[in-house]
Structures are given as C-alpha cells and as structure tokens.
Amino acid sequence: MISWNRVTIIGVGLIGGSLGLALKAEGLARRVVGVGHRQVSLDQALARGAADEATLDPAAGAGVLATSPALFRGVMERIGPALAPGAIVIDVGSTKAGIVAALEPMVPEGRVFVGCHPIAGSEQRGIEHARADLFQGASCILTPTERTPPAALDRVGQTWRGVGARVRVLSPQEHDRLLAEVSHLVHLASASLVNVLDDNPQTVVGPGWIDTTRVASGDPALWRDILLSNATEVAAALGQYQRNLDAFRKALLDGDGGRIEGVLTEAKTRRDRLIESKESR
C-alpha cells in the first residue's frame, strides 16, 4: 500500500475534494490538508471529510494543484521554496504541454513535478459534488518528461490506481493532441450545437439533445482557458470535424442514402468498440 504522510490539495472543489475523500477512504494519506481561497469551501471540505485540516495559505508537503490552471504559476511561486526534499507536486489540469513546460522548471532541485489529468467529473463544480468514487473506472493520464524520475512517476501512478483510476502514460504533446479530439473539440461542438437554437418558446428538447449538449453547461471561463491553451490542436481537430460535416451535408443534399448510412455505421461501430474496450479494460 502506497501511503503519504501528508497530501496538500490546493483547490478543494469537485476534483480536489473528490481526491481528498478518495485518499482518506482508501487509507492512502495519513493527513490531507485542504487549501483554498474561500473559507466557506474549506469549511465544507472539512465537514465532508475531504480534508483533515484547512488553510487559506498554500502549505508545504506533497502537493496537488487542483485549482484553476490560470493560478498554477502563482501557486508554484509560493509553494516551491517551501517544498520538503523528495516532495512531489502534481496538477490535474485538462491540458498538459503548456502547464508541464511552465511548472516543471519552477520545482526546486530534489523535488518533482508530475503532470496528471484524471478524466473524470462533469459539468458540475464545487466541493458539494465531490465524491470518493469519482475516479473509479476513470482514466488518468500521466505526462512525464525526460526529467521525471521513474520512481516518482510510479508512486504517483500507484496513488491514482489506489483511488480506482486506470493509469495511462503519454507525453504532454500526445496528451494534448488526443484530448483535443475527445474533449476540447467535443466541448466547442456541443456549445455550438446549443447556439443553433433561437429562443423559440416552442422548442422541445428530449433525452438525445440533453445528453449531447451536457458539457455545454460547463464553466465558460474554465473552458475558455482550456481551449486557448490547446488552440493549435483544437483547431486541427475542428478542421477534420468541419470536413466531416461538409461531406455529410453533400450526401444529404444529394439524397445519398447509402453514403449517409455508411457514415452513421462507421460512427456507431467505432463508438460501440470504444465503449466496449473501455468497459472491458
């Protein structure tokens, strides 16, 4: 059993709070310190048992950056000098190349930074939605660099496995390319789909629309930052998507039923296979 004497979680919202709950539930951390900038969230984190102690000041120890990525650099400037030898800092940001390039050099000699992205959560935010099983069955991508000591990578991986995640290792660049396709593009496509509607009071939405657009209810400022931080890869994925839509439009206007069915069959086959391989993993 991997265990940590002290895990400091900076930002005890949906992800940070869930990680605190999971670490405690699995006995993976002797002490979880929650750090936030609103006392009310910290009080909730304490009340829910997501942290054993709480402070408004980033504290020393193994650190998890679970706050807004826009704050990562400022937080690292403050916690860097206080990190104990051997301490490991991870982040849980949704893009990796920029974050890893910015934060890794800020960690002092003898301390380690490991980029992480647990693909979990939903359009919800905040400690009130945190749950100990949020990472059960979720994928978590670790993005080491040539500077990452294998032992630290291994320890971080075992901790994510300990809270139920399936760990994958990719380079920060591979991560960003992949996530552009399965997450960032999906978000902008979903929001753009909602915006096709005018404000017709007759509009009726069913379960298909509700699921397809669920992510569009996510936090706009958070997603603005994610999309901008991975703009090149997102634009490339969007380009492919626009070409797919152009071809579909042509088939539709040509009344080409064979081609339409072919595209729909390709999508169904690919999706069913991905879901199946995810479930059997």
| Residues numbered 98-137 forming contacts with its own copies, rule: CB under 8 A | 119-122
Which phi and psi angles does 143 have, rounded to 5°? -125, 75
Taking CB under 8 A as the rule, does residue 208 contact its own copies? yes
Residues 210-239, interacting with its own copies (CB under 8 A): 210-218, 220-221, 223-225, 227-228, 231, 234-235, 237-239
Stretch that binds its own copies, among 33-41, 47-55, 71-79, 198-206 (CB under 8 A): 198-206
Q: How far is the CB of 142 from its own copies (least distance, A)?
A: 12
Taking CB under 8 A as the rule, does residue 47 contact its own copies? no
Cα–Cα dist 50/73, whole Å: 24
Taking CB under 8 A as the rule, does residue 253 contact its own copies? yes
Helix axes 220-229 and 185-194, enclosed angle (nearest 10): 130
Taking CB under 8 A as the rule, does residue 96 contact its own copies? no
Residue 122 tokens, joined: 């939903």
Per CB under 8 A, the list member of 109, 150, 200, 280 interacting with its own copies is: 200
Asked if residues 35 and 13 have their Cβ atoms less than 8 Å apart, the reply is no
Residues in contact with its own copies, counted by CB under 8 A, come to a total of 85
Stretch that binds its own copies, among 9-17, 23-31, 59-67, 243-251 (CB under 8 A): 243-251
State in Å, rounded, how far the first CA of the chain is from the last one. 22
Buried b / exposed e across 269-280, counting CB within 10 Å, b at 16+?
Answer: eeeeeeeeeeee
Q: How far is the CB of 92 from its own copies (least distance, A)?
A: 13
Residues 56-75, interacting with its own copies (CB under 8 A): none
Asked if residues 84 and 61 have their Cβ atoms less than 8 Å apart, the reply is yes
Taking CB under 8 A as the rule, does residue 248 contact its own copies? yes
Asked if residues 51 and 34 have their Cβ atoms less than 8 Å apart, the reply is yes
Asked if residues 8 and 58 have their Cβ atoms less than 8 Å apart, the reply is yes
Q: Within 13 Å, how many C-alpha atoms sit on residue 254's CB side?
A: 11
Check residue 170 and report its DSSP letter: -
Asked if residues 92 and 139 have their Cβ atoms less than 8 Å apart, the reply is no
Residue showing tokens 């990578």: 153
Stretch that binds its own copies, among 42-50, 57-65, 105-113, 204-212 (CB under 8 A): 204-212
Q: How far is the CB of 122 from its own copies (least distance, A)?
A: 6
Taking CB under 8 A as the rule, does residue 203 contact its own copies? yes
Taking CB under 8 A as the rule, does residue 97 contact its own copies? no
Residues 155-174, interacting with its own copies (CB under 8 A): 168, 170, 174
For the beta carbon of residue 49, count every other beta carbon within 10 angstroms. 14
Per CB under 8 A, the list member of 60, 106, 133, 139 interacting with its own copies is: 139
**Of residues 56 and 70, the one with the C-beta less far from its own copies:** 70
